[in-house]
Chains A and B, each alone.
Chain A
């Protein structure tokens, strides 16, 4: 993050301004990605008029960086009208799409509207692997065509590459393809639970060994990977007062998420209900919701396990993932695994689980022994 962005974030936090907002305009999708966390049925999406009212409220609240996502945003026939209004309201607009429905006309309109960035998901440089993940035959070719179409007219495109067991070995190929297309590539090893709480998608994620190898790849981590320095260096351990006083993440502080149904959450990965824009104003939810107040009250020192962790100053702990594991005050095991993979040093969360398992094994050993004694053996 640049210094000016960091300063901007700090100023927004001080003023409690929701500078960053993701608005999902639909959960409907033309792909059925194996790891997707969404329910794709339409349960009553906001109309254009409702979304327009939300955008005006967000502009009034000071939001600047607006991400439109889904579902597939282009399944909404009014999507370009939504983008047009967002740009008229001076939002910096980023769009997440699979690209399959982006035709020449859409690309030109996005360019003319001054859209900042379009993020397109690619799971592999091989059509058969990508299409197997999206469950949409031909989707690879159409996504790549969309990227070419967008870049040809000057739009900034970023390829999003989620790593799973199914496509792990292909990320160098995806990065090479992105380079050939002249676009950035963001590689992400995070697979999240389904929004219903079902954790089965996590089984699709990469193994601990693959995660460690990814953190050792200079193509992903730069010099830190090869030399075991920087982000990959074992933590110094211990936390200073500034670290303990820090807030864990921007979710609920300078960022929030709005679902297609008007539900407001701290983040797309943090499904803590805070209010609904069909019955409340954004300002009321943002400033008065007890749920937002609870999120904002959390400082690192208030977490249950993390303050004593060696990684506390460098961990990417996601409070939303922790919430989905049972407590927004607890550790996020996915981020514990990342810290361990990066540095080789177990997190406090991992050590706590290990201790718990050890005590359960002890209990299991004691119970049969007691049973035997009762039986007079």
Chain B
């Protein structure tokens, strides 16, 4: 069963010097994601399965093909879901969850 991920609609984010800064409006917590984390964050639009993000974004942009990137990405996604800033689902997540993230 594929996993789809989307940024929580109460987050705001911006790239700053190669890092992704994320703020959660619900409790004002700030997060800093590294370059790989930031790329996954940007790709988390609710439409692409996680395994496709690993292949098309992580492996393609960071040359991780053949490594255990998928497991690392899954752990990273789990962490952000636990923190509440990322939403995961077995079905595509409609943009209506929040605002048009385009």
Chain A positions within 8 Å of B, measured between CB atoms, are 2, 4-5, 8, 11-12, 14-15, 17, 19, 59, 62-64, 84, 87-88, 90-93, 112-117, 156
Contact = CB atoms under 8 A, between A and B. Distances in A.
Contact of A84 (B16, B32, B99): B99
Contacts of A114: 9-12, 25, 98-99
A62 B30 contact: no
B12 A116 contact: yes
B64 interface: no
Interface in B44-102: 98-102
B14 A59 contact: yes
B100 A64 contact: no
B99 A2 contact: no
Nearest to A19: B16
Closest 5 CB pairs of A and B: A92-B12, A64-B14, A114-B10, A116-B25, A87-B99
B3 interface: no
Contact of B14 (A84, A90, A115): A90
Contacts of A14: 17
A93 B30 CA distance: 14
A93 B9 CA distance: 13
A8 B22 CA distance: 11
Contact of A8 (B13, B21, B28, B101): B21
Contacts, number: 67
Nearest to A5: B30
Contacts of A116: 12, 23, 25, 28
Nearest to A114: B10
A14 B13 CA distance: 19
A90 B13 contact: yes
A66 to B, nearest CB: 9
B69 to A, nearest CB: 25
B12 A64 contact: yes
29 contacts: A2-B30, A4-B30, A4-B32, A5-B30, A8-B16, A8-B30, A62-B16, A63-B14, A64-B12, A64-B13, A64-B14, A64-B21, A64-B23, A84-B99, A84-B100, A87-B12, A88-B101, A92-B23, A92-B25, A112-B98, A113-B9, A114-B9, A114-B12, A114-B25, A114-B98, A115-B25, A116-B12, A117-B25, A156-B28
